[in-house]
Chain A
Amino acid sequence: MFLILLVVFAAVRLAPSSPADILLGQHANAASRQAINHQFHLDEPLPVQFWLYLKGVFLHGSLGESYIQRGQSVTSILSAQFPVTVQLAIQAMLFAVVLGLPLGIVAAYYQNTWIDRLAMAFVVALTSVPSFVLGPILVLVLAIKFHLLPVAGWDSPVYTILPTVTLGARTAAQLARFQRAALLDVLSQDYLRTALAKGLTRSRALRKHALRNASLPVLTVLGVNFGNLLTGSFVVETLFHVPGIGYQSIQSINNRDYPVIQGVALLVAAIYVTVNLVTDLLYRAVDPRVRDLESQQN
């Protein structure tokens, strides 16, 4: 965590210009800049600035105060916006799961038929189109042309549909591909042939044996992608006016709002650590072999 703090602290200060320039605009001059820098301790040597920051974080539990949004602490900004990002990520993940997994299952089930090819063509299309293209297309068609959904905002549940679909589309495509491949792998195993030979129906064999065993690689993809969804919504949040940390990050980077950028980076690092931990724990819960391995080692 210390390393992350150090890297982010140094990186934000490597960017040209300073918060004082942004704050002062056309009135940026040496005297005003000096006064602003003094107010935010930016006139101190870098090690002193870093020490002050560390002291704030570890001794007082404070991430500092925004330079641009005067009077607002970084903690209050992040705590207001992080739940929005989490909600969007969860919705996008649910969307990806309910679209991607059935699509993968259907494609595997009907392997090498027109259904498989159609499903995979759809998946390739979703994978290829980035969110900054898919989002405007959805807005143009569903919001502007047919007035079915709102363009942007976060006012009511209906507002969340377009950002959810835009953010979740690529993950859905990835899940579909992984689910299909994992399922095909399992379906070729001898134990499944045995089960069918013993008279199990196709659907029962799929549900009882194949799906559970094919879920392990999918679970890994799910974990990694959830982290990406939480931290990768910069474009989607900006495009759809979603007041989450992605949108906040763009604003803060543009405005050289160092404390907020550092706060976001810290949060993102914590998210990745947590998501990886949760994925490992889930892995253990789903696969008895992992538990067995652990007990053998103990």
Chain B
Amino acid sequence: MLTQPESPRFTAHRLTRRDFVALGAATLAPLLPGCTTGQHGAQATTAANTLRYPLSSPPTTLDPALVQDGTTIDLLQNIFEGLVVLDSSSRVVPGIAEKWTISSDGKIYTFNIRQGVKFHNGRSVTAADFKYSLERACGPALNSQTVFSYLNDIVGAMDCRNGKATAISGIRVQDPSTLVIEIDRPKSYWLDKMTYPTGYVVCQEVIQENGGKIEAGSAVGAGPFKIAAPADYQSNYQVTLTSFSGYHAGKPKLDHIVRPVLPDPSTRLAKYQADTLDIVKISPTDVDHVNADPTLKPDLHLYPRAATWYLGMNSAAPGSPFGDKRVRKAFAMAIDNGAITQVALKNLMDPANSVVPPGMGDYHSTCVPLPFSPSMARTMLASAGYGTSRPFPSLALTFRNDYQWVADSAQVLAHQLQQNLGVTVQLQPMEWGQFLDNLDRKTMPLALERWEADYLDPQDFLSTLLHTSRKVNGQEDHPENNTGYSNVQFDQLCDEADGELDPAKRIALYQRAEQIAINDAPWKPLFFQKDVELDKPRVHDIRDCALGHLPFTTTYVSG
């Protein structure tokens, strides 16, 4: 046992300045330069005209045919490009295709490839490269899941994906600068789908040299930026992009984009405050802190996104009371969206009165929302047979647990349901993966959910999420309908709109369908998402659309 006996001979003596200096020097010695930081040291790009913009999670792949997460898509769109792209009005405009024509039946698209478009290795892009890229994406060996959603409309694409064919019959190279693509039926939204990475052109010979894989050394695209050396891609640390001087629309104004991988929001904010980042996304919960800081406040920007947060009332869940439309309507009328955005979201996001968010091309919702009326809500619930003799069953409100502002919103929702409808709901935060699993299995009667557009067309909200889902060959034909909603009239309108080629007629059909969905209330739309971001004043000309920032072709950093 250690003891602390008296040691009279070891009494204190005065510490000299030399003692302190020696102690201090010894303490700091291991921290002085001389130790190595390996290859990471090479990436400290602080040169002028470099944009420093963090990734919130490590990129998952460099292969456009495999990418699924928004963070990686945001990275890849600066390296690769497809036939068509989105502009800052969220409209589809020419990309590598200079122009295109659509046959009178709306099924055959003929694209003219722009002259002088080059891959990062200097080779010209031809129509054959697009055929190769799309067939590679659909090849069963790659096992891409995204092609089921984005390339499934092309005639023969699914045969290729399922191993029944080696080529896509609906794609034909007419000549080196003309590509013909046939889709299964007229779909006005198909071009929107082609803006997704599965439509990007990739460089055949480089991929084949790399054993069919797209990695740091073989991520050769035709986009405005390139990965200059494999060491520039450290998926867990930092990715550095270098401008491509041969880009068809002219060399980008930025020299480099440095994207450190920073999953921790507080680290991102701290680095921004220390002036080592130019752009950061922040959480709505950090806005009070930002507003209180006069140096940060002017940098705050809100970017509207094509994403709707809603209360999903699932009639398919076991024992769910939401099979009764009156119950769904009662819940919808008991909720005041304005209170949620004010209390939980600090007025950073807009209350939602429709299923389809703003920013979806030419589409604008015209639907009339169900009124916020606690008295009507209580009457509606009573008409469904609930009251003192038959109390409403106990319910859980499930939501993902990784965002504080989502939890805050759920809390306000629960309070409103209790106060306005007398219904008690238990808050049930859930880990993201588990939440997705339960959503797909339709086990949650009441959930705070979000749908973020895959492409900017109302079809991606109305037909994708609310059309009746039926089993075809053992698989759901509308697997994203997580609420079990079914209305024949709604289905007919959506089916008609999906195939309608006249834009005005099509919009009118979707508007009618949306009003039906609002009246039936499988969803209670709550708010439209906005990204909250800090942008340094020295960053200019960021292009943005409803899906996020566009490739940084025009952006520059001054001073």
Assess A91 versus B61: contact at CB under 8 Å? Given A26-B452, A27-B68, A151-B267: no
Among the stretches A48-56, A121-129, A177-185, A225-233, the one at the interface with B is A177-185
Assess A139 versus B270: contact at CB under 8 Å? Given A32-B148, A150-B276, A188-B3: yes
Min CB distance, A245 to chain B, in Å? 10
Is there a chain A Cβ closer than 8 Å to B488's Cβ? no
- Asked whether, in the complex, the Cβ of B145 is within 8 Å of the Cβ of A32, the reply is yes
- Looking at B270, B273, B431, which has the most chain A CB atoms within 10 Å of its CB? B270
- Asked whether, in the complex, the Cβ of A256 is within 8 Å of the Cβ of B433, the reply is yes
Is there a chain A Cβ closer than 8 Å to B476's Cβ? yes
- Asked whether, in the complex, the Cβ of B433 is within 8 Å of the Cβ of A21, the reply is yes
CB within 8 A of B15: which of A115, A139, A196?
A115
Complex-state Cα separation, A181 to B3, whole angstroms = 7
Among the stretches A4-12, A70-78, A261-269, the one at the interface with B is A70-78
- Asked whether, in the complex, the Cβ of B30 is within 8 Å of the Cβ of A98, the reply is yes
Assess A157 versus B432: contact at CB under 8 Å? Given A24-B145, A29-B479, A144-B270: no
A contact residues around B63 at 8 Å (CB): 70-71
B contact residues around A161 at 8 Å (CB): 31
Complex-state Cα separation, A30 to B476, whole angstroms = 8
CB within 8 A of A26: which of B66, B270, B451?
B451
Q: B-facing mask of A249-279, CB < 8 A → 1, else 0?
A: 0110000100000000000000000000000
Is there a chain A Cβ closer than 8 Å to B271's Cβ? yes
**CB contact list, B25-49 vs A, under 8 A:** 26-27, 29-38, 40-41, 43-44
CB within 8 A of B440: which of A29, A81, A153, A238?
A29
CB within 8 A of A70: which of B5, B30, B35, B66?
B66
- Asked whether, in the complex, the Cβ of B4 is within 8 Å of the Cβ of A111, the reply is yes
Assess A157 versus B35: contact at CB under 8 Å? Given A17-B436, A28-B439, A70-B63: yes
Min CB distance, B473 to chain A, in Å? 10
Complex-state Cα separation, A31 to B260, whole angstroms = 35
**CB contact list, B424-465 vs A, under 8 A:** 431-437, 439-440, 450-452
Q: B-facing mask of A16-59, CB < 8 A → 1, else 0?
A: 11100111111111111101100100000000000000000000
CB within 8 A of B33: which of A36, A157, A250?
A157
**Closest B residue, CB atoms, query A154:** B40
- Asked whether, in the complex, the Cβ of B235 is within 8 Å of the Cβ of A69, the reply is yes
Min CB distance, A85 to chain B, in Å? 12
Assess A94 versus B30: contact at CB under 8 Å? Given A185-B3, A238-B264: yes
Min CB distance, B249 to chain A, in Å? 30
**CB contact list, A138-177 vs B, under 8 A:** 139-140, 143-144, 147, 150-161, 164-165
- Asked whether, in the complex, the Cβ of B60 is within 8 Å of the Cβ of A70, the reply is yes
**CB contact list, A65-90 vs B, under 8 A:** 68-72, 77, 80-81, 83-84, 87
Assess A25 versus B68: contact at CB under 8 Å? Given A71-B61, A157-B33: yes
Assess A102 versus B12: contact at CB under 8 Å? Given A32-B145, A151-B274: no
Is there a chain B Cβ closer than 8 Å to A222's Cβ? no
Q: A-facing mask of B61-76, CB < 8 A → 1, else 0?
A: 1010010110000000
Is there a chain A Cβ closer than 8 Å to B215's Cβ? yes
Q: B-facing mask of A97-138, CB < 8 A → 1, else 0?
A: 011001000100111010100000000000000000000100
Assess A154 versus B237: contact at CB under 8 Å? Given A102-B23, A115-B12, A182-B2: yes
**Closest B residue, CB atoms, query A139:** B270
- Looking at A154, A165, A250, which has the most chain B CB atoms within 10 Å of its CB? A154
Complex-state Cα separation, A95 to B34, whole angstroms = 15
CB within 8 A of B2: which of A35, A99, A181?
A181
CB within 8 A of B58: which of A69, A115, A165?
A69
Complex-state Cα separation, A147 to B274, whole angstroms = 7
A contact residues around B33 at 8 Å (CB): 156-158
- Asked whether, in the complex, the Cβ of A25 is within 8 Å of the Cβ of B436, the reply is yes
B contact residues around A158 at 8 Å (CB): 33
B contact residues around A87 at 8 Å (CB): 35-38
**Closest B residue, CB atoms, query A70:** B61
A contact residues around B146 at 8 Å (CB): 27
CB within 8 A of A24: which of B30, B68, B213?
B68
Is there a chain B Cβ closer than 8 Å to A283's Cβ? no
- Asked whether, in the complex, the Cβ of B9 is within 8 Å of the Cβ of A30, the reply is no
**Closest B residue, CB atoms, query A193:** B9
- Asked whether, in the complex, the Cβ of A243 is within 8 Å of the Cβ of B30, the reply is no
- Asked whether, in the complex, the Cβ of B4 is within 8 Å of the Cβ of A184, the reply is yes
CB within 8 A of B437: which of A28, A39, A143?
A28
Is there a chain A Cβ closer than 8 Å to B7's Cβ? yes
- Asked whether, in the complex, the Cβ of B41 is within 8 Å of the Cβ of A156, the reply is yes
B contact residues around A188 at 8 Å (CB): 3, 5, 7
Complex-state Cα separation, A156 to B450, whole angstroms = 41
Assess A156 versus B276: contact at CB under 8 Å? Given A25-B68, A29-B479: no
Complex-state Cα separation, A111 to B7, whole angstroms = 9
Complex-state Cα separation, A168 to B448, whole angstroms = 42
A contact residues around B439 at 8 Å (CB): 28
- Asked whether, in the complex, the Cβ of B452 is within 8 Å of the Cβ of A247, the reply is no
Complex-state Cα separation, A106 to B57, whole angstroms = 46
- Asked whether, in the complex, the Cβ of B434 is within 8 Å of the Cβ of A98, the reply is no
A contact residues around B267 at 8 Å (CB): 151-152, 238-241
CB within 8 A of A27: which of B27, B35, B37, B145?
B145
- Asked whether, in the complex, the Cβ of B7 is within 8 Å of the Cβ of A155, the reply is no
Is there a chain B Cβ closer than 8 Å to A187's Cβ? yes
Is there a chain B Cβ closer than 8 Å to A208's Cβ? no
Is there a chain B Cβ closer than 8 Å to A215's Cβ? no
B contact residues around A155 at 8 Å (CB): 37, 40-41, 43-44
- Asked whether, in the complex, the Cβ of A151 is within 8 Å of the Cβ of B12, the reply is no
Complex-state Cα separation, A52 to B7, whole angstroms = 65
- Asked whether, in the complex, the Cβ of A99 is within 8 Å of the Cβ of B27, the reply is yes
Is there a chain A Cβ closer than 8 Å to B298's Cβ? no
Min CB distance, B472 to chain A, in Å? 11
**Closest B residue, CB atoms, query A206:** B10
Q: What are 23 A-B contacts defined by CB distance under 8 Å?
A: A17-B431, A17-B435, A32-B479, A70-B63, A87-B36, A91-B31, A94-B29, A106-B23, A151-B267, A151-B271, A151-B273, A152-B271, A153-B44, A157-B37, A182-B2, A184-B5, A184-B7, A187-B10, A238-B264, A238-B267, A243-B234, A247-B236, A256-B433
The interface of chain A, by Cβ under 8 A from chain B, is: 16-18, 21-33, 35-36, 39, 68-72, 77, 80-81, 83-84, 87, 91, 94-95, 98-99, 102, 106, 109-111, 113, 115, 136, 139-140, 143-144, 147, 150-161, 164-165, 181-182, 184-185, 187-188, 193, 196, 202, 217, 238-241, 243, 247-248, 250-251, 256
Given contacts A69-B236, A71-B63, A164-B30, list 13 more A-B pairs with CB under 8 A: A21-B437, A32-B479, A69-B60, A70-B61, A95-B27, A95-B30, A102-B23, A102-B26, A151-B274, A153-B260, A157-B36, A165-B31, A202-B10
What 9 A-B pairs are tightest by C-beta distance, nearest first? A17-B433, A29-B479, A155-B44, A94-B30, A188-B5, A243-B237, A16-B434, A70-B61, A110-B12
